[in-house]
Amino acid sequence: MLLRHTPKEITERSALMINPAKTCQPIGAMYAALGIKGCLPHSHGSQGCCAYHRSTLTRHYKEPISAATSSFTEGASVFGGQANLLQAIDNIFTVYEPDVIAVHTTCLSETIGDDLPQIFDKAMKEKKVPAGKTLIGAQTPSYVGSHVTGFSNMVKAMAALAKPSGKKNGKINIIPGWVEPSDMEEIKKIAAMIGVSINMFPDTSGVLNGPLTGEYKMFPDAGASIDDIKDSGNSIGTLALGEWCSADAARLLDTKCKVPCSILDMPFGLKATDRFVDALRTVAGTSVPDEVMMERGKLVDMISDMHQYFYGKKVALVGDPDQVIAMTEFLVSIDMCPIHIVTGTPGKRFEERINEITKDMGQKVNVRAKGDMFLLHQWIKNEPVDLIIGNSYCKYIARDEDLPYVRWGFPILDRQGHQHFPTVGYMGGLRLLEKILGVLLDRKDRDDPESKFELVL
Ligand code: SF4
């Protein structure tokens, strides 16, 4: 019992977090930056921060993550990191020749008060940025927000590059939010099936789930190109998937470039995917093609075939707000009961959305934004569940409480597959249900008495 000290009795805490359900802002900024073609992320802070960000992403995506650092020492920590960053920009463009350097700050550089726009301006004036190369920057102090905030800040910095030319390009921007590379592939596949020409950023497909070819490439031949990101200001509209991850960038494109935006939920599950498909169909001015309807029908078929095993099952759910909102709706739509729901990212709207989605479920729901894994565990001790869904940190709770457990979200440090198999869209819904069913039925097989042990389920 690794978590044997977790008490059942809940004491309200105002200033203490135990086992956070989030990680630090720069990790999100770094993941977003990896979705730009030819981009080297740069951590403006100490080497330790950068090593942590890289190792967390490497452990989740099972790929080497390249990133540079301003390597703060005592001097930079006191007097500021401008000299380090200017030297780094010079070195990186000279030695590694990326198209883009995406700089994010850290707790230390933010506390000192380093001014990225001013340092970038100086770098330009001192001709440290070669012609045709790009610098972008996001402020990502980790003492506020979470990795989701950092992701959103870097995506907003991408949107700030957009340049309207006055001539529309006929494309739709899709800002997919923090989903897996496999999910980004699936989103592009759905848009292609409907016949919509899209401009998606960031795009980590092919970057963090690429093949092993035996040939090392510092910058994979994938990701959203900087020209496409700049061209997003000429698109006819933007679909932003997720309020927390993508809305800020979409609203910036709207105000700066007059590209109207719709903020949708991430397309996890039947209803959210329906809304995504409908938005694409509306833009394309077409009907939904048969191949998309076929995929939808398969998901509906699996739900109706296996509904008896989902019905009434109580679920504890933890993850990032955009994912958890869509997943809650999916679980409720198949008559499961998500009763304990936590995200580590702040935002009161999260609790409102969850309460709206679960209001007719007929069960009391515990929901907390800026919550932690400790609280989730206490809720489970007070009202046990049939299933826990969340990232790898849930394994401690699942083991102590002997719960069926589905790994989903970020980070997943102890399993493979998430980079390659989507969980968005109808086909992703099938994958999610298959995973949920697998653990529920394994548990049934384990616990059923011999008289009820069945071959066919
Ligand atoms: S010091 Fe801040 S930015 Fe660096 S690893 Fe820690 S939380 Fe993240």
Query: Can you give the pLDDT at residue 348?
Result: 86
Is pTM beyond 0.95? Reply is yes
**25-159 and 172-284 in the same fold:** yes
Give residue 283's pLDDT band: very low, low, confident or very high (50, 70, 90).
confident
Q: CA nearest 409: which of 212, 177, 191, 144?
A: 177
- CA-CA-CA-CA torsion for 30, 61, 391, 360, nearest 10 degrees? 80
Give residue 1's pLDDT band: very low, low, confident or very high (50, 70, 90).
confident
Query: Can you give the pLDDT at residue 15?
Result: 87
Q: CA–CA distance from 264 to each of 121, 157, 181, 322 (Å)?
A: 36, 20, 19, 10
Q: How far apart are CA 299 and CA 349, in angstroms?
A: 29
Does the beta carbon of 173 sit less than 6 angstroms from any atom of ligand 1? no
Residues in the chain: 457
| Best of 49, 70, 104 for a ligand 1 pocket test (most atoms within 8 Å of beta carbon) | 49
CATH of 25-159, one of 3.90.1300.10, 3.40.50.261, 3.30.930.10, 3.40.50.1980: 3.40.50.1980
Does the beta carbon of 52 sit less than 6 angstroms from any atom of ligand 1? yes
Percent of the chain that is helix, strand, coil (3-state, to 5): 45, 15, 40
- Spatial strand order in the sheet of 387-390: 366-368, 337-342, 314-318, 387-390, 405-407
Q: Does domain 290-451 have CATH number 3.40.50.1980?
A: yes
Computed over every residue of the chain, the mean pLDDT equals 96
Preceding peptide of 411 cis, ω within 30°: yes
User: pLDDT tens digit string along 429-444?
Assistant: 999 999 999 999 999 9
- Ligand 1 centroid distance, CA of 363 (Å): 39
- Ligand 1 centroid distance, CA of 47 (Å): 10
Q: Is the pLDDT of residue 158 over 90?
A: yes
What DSSP string describes 320-337? -HHHHHHHHHHHHHTT-E
CATH architecture of structural domain 172-284: 3-Layer(aba) Sandwich (3.40)
Q: Is the pLDDT of residue 284 over 90?
A: no
User: pLDDT tens digit string along 162-218?
Assistant: 989 999 999 999 999 999 999 999 999 999 999 999 999 999 999 999 999 999 899
CB count, 10 Å around CB of 389?
A: 27
Query: Can you give the pLDDT at residue 317?
Result: 98
Q: Where are the domains of the chain?
A: 25-159, 172-284, 290-451
Does the beta carbon of 69 sit less than 6 angstroms from any atom of ligand 1? no
Average pLDDT over every residue of 331-336: 98
Q: How far apart are CA 151 and CA 146, in angstroms?
A: 9
Going by C-beta distance under 8 Å and a sequence separation of 6 or more, which residues neighbour residue 422? 180, 182, 183, 185, 186, 428, 431
Q: How far apart are CA 62 and CA 288, in angstroms?
A: 36
Query: Can you give the pLDDT at residue 130?
Result: 97
